[in-house]
Amino acid sequence: MKKFVPAIEKTYRIRAKKEFRAISGLSMGGYGSLMLAMRYPDLFSSCVAFSSGTFTDEEIVAMPDQNYNMFFGDIFGKGLTGDNRISDNWKAHSPLHLIYDVPKDKLKSIRFYIDCGDDDFLYLGNSQLHIQMRKLDIPHEYRTRQGGHEWSYWRTGLVDGLKFIGQSFHR
């Protein structure tokens, strides 16, 4: 973030302020958007996450070893099993933990939009994030529509996500 954002701002004619910066993505990109917005709350005014790869601790603990190692092993440690997967590194990058670790006023300075289909295998983590954000009184938009983890679902939501970002930039 310390190199990428300045490089973009140097290369393109844009306003280099938080109020004119947003982050968005889908699937693992949605996870990355949430995680980066939460870890760097002074950089982004809004975050739009579609079907974010947000997993609950319970899902990670119960995940078959082959799946865990394929998707998370290189990031959080290969060969970890059970509760050992919920390491400090995992917690430092999980939106479900970051909402408790990042000061609430910092999180409230970001407009969040979370969208996940009701048939998406990532529905539980996204729903849990919504529930925890409500409990902590962190303003956000949460959308669940009919659909799964597929482009036909995301295409129908992109316009609303872009409108949400545009409203963040509106003066």
pLDDT tens for residues 136-158? 999 999 999 999 999 999 999 99
Phi, psi (5° rounding) for residue 51? 45, 50
Q: What is the pLDDT of residue 169?
A: 85
> Do the beta carbons of residue 51 and residue 149 sit within 8 Å?
yes
> Do the beta carbons of residue 52 and residue 34 sit within 8 Å?
yes
| Mean pLDDT value across residues 106-111 | 97
> Do the beta carbons of residue 149 and residue 27 sit within 8 Å?
yes
Residue 140 corresponds to which tokens in the numbers above?
């956000």
Residues 6+ apart with CB under 8 A from 163: none
Among the ranges given (8-17, 70-79, 110-119), the one the predictor scored with the smallest mean pLDDT: 8-17
Q: Provide the pLDDT confidence category of residue 171 given band limits of 50, 70 and 90.
A: low
CATH of 20-55+102-156, picked from 3.40.50.11540, 1.10.3720.10, 3.40.50.1820, 1.10.10.10, is 3.40.50.1820
Residue 120 corresponds to which tokens in the numbers above?
């998406």
Q: Where are the domains of the chain?
A: 20-55+102-156, 58-93
* Average per-residue pLDDT for the chain: 94
Give the predicted TM-score (pTM) of the model: 0.91
Q: Provide the pLDDT confidence category of residue 133 given band limits of 50, 70 and 90.
A: very high
Q: Write out pLDDT tens, residues 25-80.
A: 999 999 999 999 999 999 999 999 999 999 999 999 999 999 999 999 999 989 99
| Mean pLDDT value across residues 107-127 | 97
